[in-house]
Every structure is written in C-alpha cells, then in structure tokens.
Structure 1
Amino acid sequence: MKRRLLYIVPVVVAVAAVLGVWLVIGGQDSPDAPAPPAAAVPAAADIPAGTAEPVSLSVDNEQNSIPYLNSLYEVNVQKDIIYASKPNESSTAEALKLDIYQPAGDNNTLRPVFLFIHGGGYSGGSKEDAKEFSENLAKRGYVVLAVNYRLKKEPYLNFTDTLQDACEDMADVMGWISQNAQTYGLDTGRLFLGGDSAGGQISLNFVNEYLKQSPELVKSVAAIVDIYGGELRDSIQDGLPPVLIIHGTLDTSISYEISRELDEMLQARGIYHELFTLEGGGHDYKSGKFKEPIADTAAAFLWNIMNETELAWLPEQSEMMEASGDSFSLPLPEAYRMDSAAGKLKVSLPEGWKLTGQQNDSLLIHIPEGLKNGDYYVRISLDQESGVSAAYAVNVNVINPLEAKLETYFDDTDQTIKTRIVLTNQSKRTFSGSYEVDYESAGISDGTYSTRIDGLEPGQSENLTIPELAAGMWTMRGYNVSGMLLQESTEPSRAMLSPKLQEPVRIDGKLGEWAGQPRFEVSDVRLDGWGGKQDLSAFGYTSWDADNFYLALEVTDDTQAQTAAGDAIWNGDGIQLALGITYADGSIPREYHELGLARDDQGKLLKWRWLAPSGFDSGDSIRLQEAVTRSGYTTIYEAAIPWSELTYETDRVKAGLKLKFSLLVNDNDGGGRRGWIEYNSGIATAKDIHAFGDLFLTE
C-alpha cells in the first residue's frame, strides 16, 4: 500500500512568536524522480541546540515519496554471482554465491548497500530465503546483496569454527563490495548488514569481532538489523554501530529473552539501538501479520541512521503501534524539543489526521476512526534559514481497535466442537458498539454471528462463543454505536475435521477407498516461478481409528527428483507433516512431531522424523506403514502412523481430541529445492506450532 507521510520541519525565526498551526495541501512527488545525492546530513554540531528561542510549527497533508523510505522502483535481480571459493567441511572447494537486487531505473551512481545473511541454523537455508525482504528494500532504492555462506552438517559440534567460517565468508563479501562498487553503483560509505536467525547472529558477531581484528574492513558498516539472532559471543567492542533488534515473544526456536539481554547490553554501553517486539510473533519474519511492519520499521531505522548518528537527533523508537480512532503522543528527540530547537517544525499528516496539541517534548496526534490498518510513516525535519536541516522518520503501525483471537475447542458438556472468539480492546478508549462474524460451518454452509459490546475498557477482553466449528474463511466487522464500520478483516480459520474410519483402508498408494471423505486442498504456494497446478498441486485426506492416524495425499508434479536420504530428504520431492497432541485442556503443546515421507528416483521409500517430543526418537526409526506410488505426473502418498508413535497417552485418542496440524509438499525439478506448497504453516520458514491449524477427531 502507499505509505502516508507525517512530517515535521523547523526554520529559524528572528523574533519569539506564538506557535501557529496551519494546513497546507502539497502535491505528490513523481516515483520516477531521481533520488537526491547521497550528501546530506548535517552533524549535530551544525545545528545549534539548547537555545531558548521558540520554534514555529506548521502542519500540512503532503504525501511525498521519499527515496530509501518509500517504494519507488521496480527491481532487477542478478543471481549466482560468485564472490569467493573456499574449502568447505569436506575440504572441497565451494563456490560461494550472492544475488544482487537493484532498483530499476535508478540513476544514482552511489546507492546504499544492504547485505542480507539468511538463517537456517548454520546447516540449512539459502540466499533465496531473503528474496522478499531484499526486493522490498531494493524497491526503496537500496542495492541488496543476499549471500550464501559455508554450512555444516553438525554446526554445533564445534560452533566456534562454524561461526568463524561464516564471518570469514562475510569478510570476503566486504572485499567483493569494495572491488565492485563502481560497477554496481555501490556507496561503500552507506553499508548495512542484517539477517534472520543465524544470519542475525552472524551480522552482529562479524562486525563486533572484526572491530577487534580488522577495524578498517567494517568501519563503513553504518547499522545492523538483527532479526531474532541476538547472541553476541564476545564483549561489545568500541565502535559497534547502531542495532535494530527484531524478535517475537512466542519464538520457540530462539528465546525472546536473548534479545532482551542484548537490548540491556547495548543500553549499558550507550550504543544507539531499538528492540522492536513482535507481540505474539514466532520464528518467521515473513509471516503475513509481521512482514510489512518489519520491512517498514527497518527502512525507517536505516533512513534515520543515514540522516544522523548523534543520539540527540535520533528517536527513541522508529516504530509505534496505535489503534485507529486514538490520539497518541509522538515523542521528540532532545534536539527537536521546543526548549532546545531554534527553527520551524513542519508536520505533514495523512488525510484525516489532526495535530491536536503539543508539549515541550512531544506532539499529540489524532488518527481518524475507521482508518484501514497498516503502516504510515511519520517524518520529522528541522530546517533553518541557513539551509541546514535534519530529519528522522517513525513508522506508525495502525491497528484495529478490536483484536479477535479465534480458538476452537471440544465442549465435554454437550460433546460438540465450538469456536471461541477472544475479543480484546486494543485502543485507548472504552469501546461500545457491535461485532459481527461471517463464516463457513465446517465447510458446509455459511453462518453469521453478531453481538453487542458494551463498555469494553482498554486492554480488557470479552469471550464470545459460536456454538459450532466455524471453518473456512472468516470476515469480521466492528461497528461503533452509531453503526459506523470501524474495521473489517478476512482470514482463514485453519480448522478441519478428521472423521473416524468406518472401514479399514489398505496402505497401497491407491485412493479409491478415500472417496467420500472430506478433503483438504494444499493451496498456499511458496514456489518461485510456479507454473500452475501441473507444476505442483495437491489435495489430501485424514482419518483415524483406535490404532492409527491416517494420511493420504495426491500430488501433481511435472518432474520427479529425489536423490537425498536421511535428514536431507526435504531437499527433494516429498512431504513433511507436523502433528502435535494438545494438552487435556486443549492448549498448545510445547513439543510436537515433524515427519517426512518420500520416494527416491530408484523407487526406494524414505522416511524421517526431524522433531519429536521427549522420549521419542528422531531419525528413520519411526514405525509406520507407508506407500508412495508415481504414475505419469501423479504421486500418491499414504501412511498409517501408530498413535503410540505420537503420544504416550493413547487412552486420550477419541472423538473430540484436538491436534495441531500442518503439511507441505516440497518441489525439486532436478536443480535443487525450488520451494513448496503448504496447508497451514510453521514448518518450512520457521518451526512454529502456533502457525499450525487445528484438527479434530470426529466419529
């Protein structure tokens, strides 16, 4: 969506005057306009602070497109550029490659550079994982390098060597940047590093370590973006650049507390940094809910650092979260405060927004009711008659006043599956009005649920119950007491029923016996260059009896390729499924199973268990019946998994039991894993049971 900009700009006034506010409507810059030269930003000493002269204040509704902040360009990509060749753990020379993402049509000869390092636990992942984030920054004007580095089969057997090798690879990338700066129009004076998970950890430790070993190599690194990597292996070195830490509170792979500790360490050393907390976020920065706020906040943080590095001119945070209809206080950095700055503050608000007041250290801004949720930039500048100026930006993530969390559960009292909506008032105002939900009832018919909400205080929640399983797509609407639509959202419920087998099935790779069973579509495509259903598509069935959980899947795939074995079968054609048995109260378990089934190119059946709760073995020792057949472009998977391989509490296996369930189909056409299609999430990009769907056993 187009970003709205909120500006503030100061110009010296000769005489002390009363603050005035006026509205000026401005035009929008052309996206084709070339970005301004890299010049730019004055040092704090160039703008006198601490004077007692008042500032004057202006407000307008300009929505200018700002280079490096807003999306302005299409993107060109060059893939598989070799930046070094190094011996890997098997002493074989490995060509290390990078992909370069460039803004198309950008006439600047010096563009800021962002080096993105992928995650994967030092044993997996690739530069392709960074595609979305890299494209996002390149659209704003950055040149982004997504890089591979040497991976290890057992990275934690000697983690010191693993991290050292990765850091040495990043040193080679820095050398490549220096050597190729003129060719690609790279501004080596505006260089940023970042990554997710292992990539975030490499970013931090590489810069920190080389500040000690070879400071000349990393002196141009202006900032680091650490997405849930978090752990420094050494004490913080002098000269560590600003750091943006991004982490979800429900991350089960790397504890959020690690980033909290890093936050405290940086605070103690006086290093400018921010901790952007993703409330309810797991270990997946590309998930739909957080993808845009992460990219927009990172862009604001980097833009601020490019403009100024003195603490007095930088905001305490580059992001804020506010509900539509609320007023919020926008803090001013020390150098912009009314008793410190000399000049003129200019505030440009999105349409309908209002400046309703100001104090020495903050501005009060009102967001209109019914505003579509999303990210809106706040840009604040300080101008003087001398022409010297400073600026910073804040990403305001506007959320709905009401948050709805859906929970399906089995009600023992009447032996039915129901849906609970936990409705929370996220705004700063007491909410009264109505709430309405349109849904599908177990995929059979449409239903509508509506209720009045009276006097729901800020931060308070109310439980609403739909007396059936609400499946399919949900459309949720909130209205105020006047009937005005305040919010509307649509999302899938991710709940399904698994009926008990009425007749035994043969695990033979044929689906005739499954006719008439409820089926699910594996329809979420995570595959670059997907050629349609003939390229890769799938549908499936689940069922159960007292002994086994059953799965059947029909996959259409135009090319079969599976040459891997053991824990690497995810690299080739095959399926991965995740199952977690909920606790007796229906809550999400801490541990779950992740299994894989495949058929190699010689017809051998393969199986593997990557994750298992305590007491269960990982590896290929799992007992199950498996059949995988292929004819033409069609591959059939069938499996009967004993309940004893999934839970020690087999007596709980009965109608009403709730499981957490996710499944994906990997695709390899002979040149490596291309991607996958999935039903639910939480397997491929991150291990996150909170992204699984619900599966209920029924009679």
Structure 2
Amino acid sequence: MDIYEPAGDTVKRRPLIIFAHGGGFVAGSKTDSYPVAFCTRLAKLGYVTASIEYRLGFAFTGFAAPADTPKIAQAALRGAQDMKAAVRFFRKDAATARMYRIFSNYIIVSGSSAGAFAALETGYLDKASEVPSYLDLTALGGVDGTSGNPGYSNAVAAVLSLSGATESPNIIEPGNAPLCSVHGTRDATVPYLQGRIGSLLPPKYVYGSGRLNPRATALGIRNTLRPLKGADHVPFETNAAYADTVFWTVRDFLRPLLRLPGTALAARTASPAVPIAFAYPTPARDAVQLALPENWRDLGEAQLIDLTGRVVQQLKPQAQQLQLLRGSLAPVSTRCGLPGKLPRG
C-alpha cells in the first residue's frame, strides 16, 4: 500500500480511509491517477489515506453455477480478504507502535468499481452463509482470509462505494456500518440497480447502489446515495467535475460520523447562546440546510453564528427545515463590532 499522511499535524486520533482501485479484478494499481488524487485530496483534510493493492486475476473453469461466474465471485472475495488485512494492519499499529496515529474507531474502507466490490464485502460480508455455495471457502481461507495481521478486528466505521455492487443486498444487516455510494444511473458496466456483469464470461448477477442504499435505509442504517444522472461507469476518474462531486459527497458524509464541529444555530437569549441545531454541510459549497428542533415555533428571532462567534444571519423561522444560500450569509456583526467576511471553504 501507499500511505498518505497530513503534513505537519499533531492530531493523536487520526481518521483513516483505505482505498482500493478499480480494474475489473484483472488490471489497475494503487498508483493509478484516480487513487492518487482521491487519497491526496482527503489527506489534505486531515485523513490518513492508504491506496492498497489486492490480488488480481481469475480463470474461467466452466459453468459451475447458472447465470453466474464463480471466478468473479472468488476475485471479489479475495479483494475483500486483502482489504481486511489492511484494516487489521492499521488496527494493529493503533494498538502497538502507533506509527500512523490512527484512531481505530475511525477506519473507513472505500473503492472504485472492482475496488468498491471489495469495500462492500469488507464492510458487510461477515458470515460463511453469505458466500456463494459454489466457492470453496475453506480453500480460500474463510470469510476473513489469511492475508496477514491475524488477531485484530476487521470492523470498519463506514463504507464508501464508488460505482460498486455486490452479491446481494441482504449482506447489509441491522447495526452495520454507514454506507455512502456514488454511482452513474446509466452505468453499463456495473448496474446502478441490478443486473449481470461480465461480457465475455458467463455473467454474474449483482446489485448496485440503487438497491443497496434503499436496503440500508429500510434497516435504519445511516447512508447517502449520490446518483450521477445519465452518467456511465466511473465518470469521476476522468472528469474533474464528477471528481469534485465525489469529494464533496464523501467529505460531507464523513464529517458528522467523525463528530467534527459545524456551524451552530443558537437561540437569542439573555444568557450565553446554547446550540440547539446544526447546519449542514459545513463548509458549504452552495447552500446551508438548517434542521430546527421540534419547538422551532417558540424561537421567535434566532441567530446563525459561525465558529468564531460572528452572527452571519438573523432568522425568523417560518418552517422547521430551512435552506440558506451560501452567498447570502454575510456577517451582520462580530464580537469586536467591525465588519468582516464569511470564511471560504
């Protein structure tokens, strides 16, 4: 793996994102341009990121299962086993040398295309009964595999799936880790909803983001689905605008999970302001969404205050859900009474 670290930080409990490249289980590398860009950009936010290699290749050996390709299922499982070994590597380091200062509660797995298959199985496939029966699971080393760092947990805090799919939505179960998915709605390689993959081989039936995230919602699992309307497979790997969308989606999904501070809404009272709701996303690119408490009708006048204490908006709520355009959030006062500008980004 290649490990990217924030430069010059002194944080003792860093969050970690492990990323697996795409390539259909036959190609790709940890040094491909997209994994490098993805890991670099998130490292600049304070994450430790790791772009991993995993075992590639599979050989077709016959029609072992109807309408399915056993070797694709095997390749996905091996990718997950290798990603789980990476999770265990960092959890071992967190418990011993602490070279990377990782907080083991903040380990997130992610991937693009085939790498997303591996990330989904890392996060959700944890029982032998969830592995296709036509695979020799014993010969493959069991669900967790034997790729290294035994004795440590494979558990992750979240799963990021970029144009990914998996064997069945049922591997997502109550209490599982949160899920963030980005997927083109016209993906002809990995279906957005469900369908077969594999053009030259007997196809394998899989379920994409449009089926996995609703499954998570039905189970009460926190999740975000960002459909890229009309987009084909992994457009974010070649198009900067789509890459930005992935970055903003991942950033905004993870921040509440990591309990990072946001902009607070406070009632206007004679006593010191007490936060009663949070605005999101923060920082905001276009608009800030406000979710007010159930007693919002009793607020009267309220103030939106940034982290420096500046009032950036006077509010007279007319509804419990509000949306404020970012460009309209000019400070109306500061602690010292001088005009100021809203911080960018």
TM-score norm. by structure 1 comes to 0.33
1:185 to 79, 96, 101: 101
Matched with 2:16 is 113
> Helix, strand or coil: the match of 1:263?
helix
Q: Could you tell me how far apart the structure 2 residues matched to 1:242 and 1:211 are?
A: 19
| Amino acid paired to 1:194 | S
Matched with 2:184 is 248
> Helix, strand or coil: the match of 2:171?
coil
Evaluate the alpha carbon distance shift between residue 151 and residue 109 of structure 1 in structure 2; reply closer, same or farther with a 3 A threshold: same
| Amino acid paired to 1:159 | I
Pairwise CA distance, 1:122 = 1.0
> 2:172 aligned with 1:236, yes or no?
yes
Q: Could you tell me how far apart the structure 1 residues matched to 2:279 and 2:220 are?
A: 14
> 2:274 aligned with 1:330, yes or no?
no
Pairwise CA distance, 1:164 = 2.0
**Aligned-pair Cα RMSD in Å:** 3.7
Q: Could you tell me how far apart the structure 1 residues matched to 2:45 and 2:243 are?
A: 16
1:134 to 39, 44, 48: 39
Bigger Rg over Cα: 1
> 2:201 aligned with 1:285, yes or no?
no
Matched with 1:358 is 317
> Helix, strand or coil: the match of 1:290?
helix
Deviations for 1:467-508, whole angstroms, at most 9, x for unmatched residues? Answer: xxxxxxxxxxxxxxxxxxxxxxxxxxxxxxxxxxxxxxxxxx
CA contact (8 A) 2:16 2:47 kept: yes
CA contact (8 A) 1:231 1:259 kept: no
Say how many residue pairs are matched. 260
> 2:50 aligned with 1:145, yes or no?
yes
Higher relative CO (Cα under 8 Å, sequence separation at least 6) belongs to 2
CA contact (8 A) 1:115 1:193 kept: yes
TM-score norm. by structure 2 comes to 0.64
Matched with 2:162 is 227
CA contact (8 A) 2:304 2:314 kept: no
Q: Could you tell me how far apart the structure 1 residues matched to 2:51 and 2:282 are?
A: 24
Matched with 1:168 is 81
CA contact (8 A) 1:111 1:185 kept: yes
| Amino acid paired to 1:226 | S
Unmatched 5+ residue regions in structure 1?
Answer: 1-97, 323-327, 370-375, 377-396, 398-699
Q: Could you tell me how far apart the structure 1 residues matched to 2:282 and 2:117 are?
A: 22
> Helix, strand or coil: the match of 1:358?
coil
Q: Could you tell me how far apart the structure 1 residues matched to 2:45 and 2:245 are?
A: 15
Q: Return the structure number with greater strand share.
A: 1
> 2:111 aligned with 1:195, yes or no?
yes
Alignment of 1:452-491 (within 5 A): none
Evaluate the alpha carbon distance shift between residue 159 and residue 345 of structure 1 in structure 2; reply closer, same or farther with a 3 A threshold: farther
Q: Return the structure number with greater helix share.
A: 2
> Helix, strand or coil: the match of 2:108?
strand
> 2:272 aligned with 1:272, yes or no?
no
Evaluate the alpha carbon distance shift between residue 208 and residue 364 of structure 1 in structure 2; reply closer, same or farther with a 3 A threshold: closer
> 2:26 aligned with 1:123, yes or no?
yes
Pairwise CA distance, 1:252 = 2.3
Alignment of 1:220-619 (within 5 A): 221-233=156-168, 234-257=170-193, 258-283=208-233, 284-286=235-237, 287-307=239-259, 330-332=289-291, 338=296, 346-348=304-306, 358-366=317-325, 368=327
Evaluate the alpha carbon distance shift between residue 356 and residue 218 of structure 1 in structure 2; reply closer, same or farther with a 3 A threshold: same
Q: Could you tell me how far apart the structure 2 residues matched to 1:177 and 1:114 are?
A: 11
Matched with 1:205 is 121
CA contact (8 A) 1:190 1:306 kept: yes
Sequence identity of aligned pairs in percent?
25
Q: Could you tell me how far apart the structure 1 residues matched to 2:298 and 2:174 are?
A: 29
Deviations for 1:44-68, whole angstroms, at most 9, x for unmatched residues? Answer: xxxxxxxxxxxxxxxxxxxxxxxxx
| Amino acid paired to 1:190 | Y
CA contact (8 A) 2:4 2:43 kept: yes
> Helix, strand or coil: the match of 2:54?
coil
Evaluate the alpha carbon distance shift between residue 355 and residue 247 of structure 1 in structure 2; reply closer, same or farther with a 3 A threshold: farther
Pairwise CA distance, 1:288 = 1.3
Evaluate the alpha carbon distance shift between residue 317 and residue 366 of structure 1 in structure 2; reply closer, same or farther with a 3 A threshold: closer
Q: Could you tell me how far apart the structure 1 residues matched to 2:108 and 2:303 are?
A: 30
CA contact (8 A) 1:228 1:247 kept: yes
CA contact (8 A) 2:180 2:224 kept: yes
